[in-house]
Amino acid sequence: MSSPAQEVIYASAKQYLREPVNLALLLIIPPLLIVAMSGALSTFSNVIGGNLGQRAGSGLAGLWAAAILTGVASFFLSLASACVDGRLILAGLRPSAVTAAHAAMTILIALLTAAVSVLILLATQDVGRLAALFGAIFVAALIYGSLGSLLSVYVHGDLEGSFVIILIFMLDAFVGGPLAAGRGIAADLLPVHFPSEVAIASMIDAPIHDSWLVWSGLYLVATSLLATYALMRRRTMQ
């Protein structure tokens, strides 16, 4: 017999899969960014001060696709389940178990989106370091998944939440990311600056700095803890 927490994961998975728009985005966004826009990203990067080649642009596009898809999915799932979670807690399920179940669902979505992006990259480009590339894209997806869950506690409208996630993504992509050769503390504080550096280095088989790995891990831990605290607090107060 499955546990209540497993039932939460199963219900969240069904909710994700039965929405046609989720599957459509999963099938459209990664190939659109990776295949159709990698050359354009390289050209645009040169215009705004960066120096990305086409392979590096493809790796960055794959990371973007996984991150934005996971962030949006996590936001909508956490927002839609708020009332159900409250009823489960009133029925006796611990808030920590509900939060852990939603964290597991975010991890599954991040694995799915990262796998789709990496498979498309393998089919269309030469990948220098596969394991490092997958790790960078997966970490970026988890960071955005945590941000989506965090936003669901404080932003209660679907449209408003989508706009906030897109705004964060645009700052991440066009201000702090390698696309524009973003440097300095402002760039470093944006969510996937360091995972983006790792993904690009992995694509072109360039050296990966230890500091990129450390800061990527620290950012993931920080966003995960903030999202966990916010969700636990919301569910404890329900």
Long-range contacts, 25-33 (Cβ 8 Å, 24+): 25/69, 25/72, 26/69, 26/112, 26/113, 26/116, 29/65, 29/68, 29/69, 30/62, 30/65, 30/66, 30/69, 30/113, 30/116, 30/117, 30/120, 31/120, 33/61, 33/62, 33/64, 33/65
Distances (CA, A) of 132 to 128, 136, 197, 202, 212: 9, 6, 11, 6, 12
How far is C-alpha 133 from the geometric centre of its chain's CA atoms? 14
| Structural domain count, the chain | 1
Place 111 in a pLDDT band, splitting at 50, 70 and 90: very high
- Structure confidence by residue, pLDDT tens digits, 188-237: 778 888 898 899 889 888 899 998 899 999 999 999 999 988 887 765 55
Interaxial angle between packed helices 193-204 and 54-80, expressed in degrees from 0 to 180 and rounded to the nearest 10: 140
pLDDT of amino acid 186: 66
Mean pLDDT, to the nearest integer, of 67-75?
Answer: 89
What is the domain range of residue 128? Answer: 4-237
Point out the least confidently predicted range of 43-47, 108-112, 184-188.
Answer: 43-47
Q: Which pLDDT band, with edges at 50, 70 and 90, does 103 fall under? A: confident
Q: Between these two residues, 137 and 30, which has the higher pLDDT value?
A: 137
- Per-residue pLDDT for 48 more than 50? no
Give yes or no for residue 134 having a pLDDT over 90: yes
pLDDT of 46 > 60? The answer is no
Q: Is the pLDDT of residue 35 over 90?
A: no
Looking at residue 178, what is its pLDDT? 65
Structural contact between residues 169 and 67, judged by C-beta atoms closer than 8 angstroms: yes
**Average pLDDT value for residue range 16-38:** 68
The whole-number pLDDT of residue 1 equals: 38
Q: What is the pLDDT of residues 156-200, one digit of tens each?
A: 887 888 888 888 888 887 776 666 555 667 667 788 888 988 998
- Residue 67's pLDDT is 92
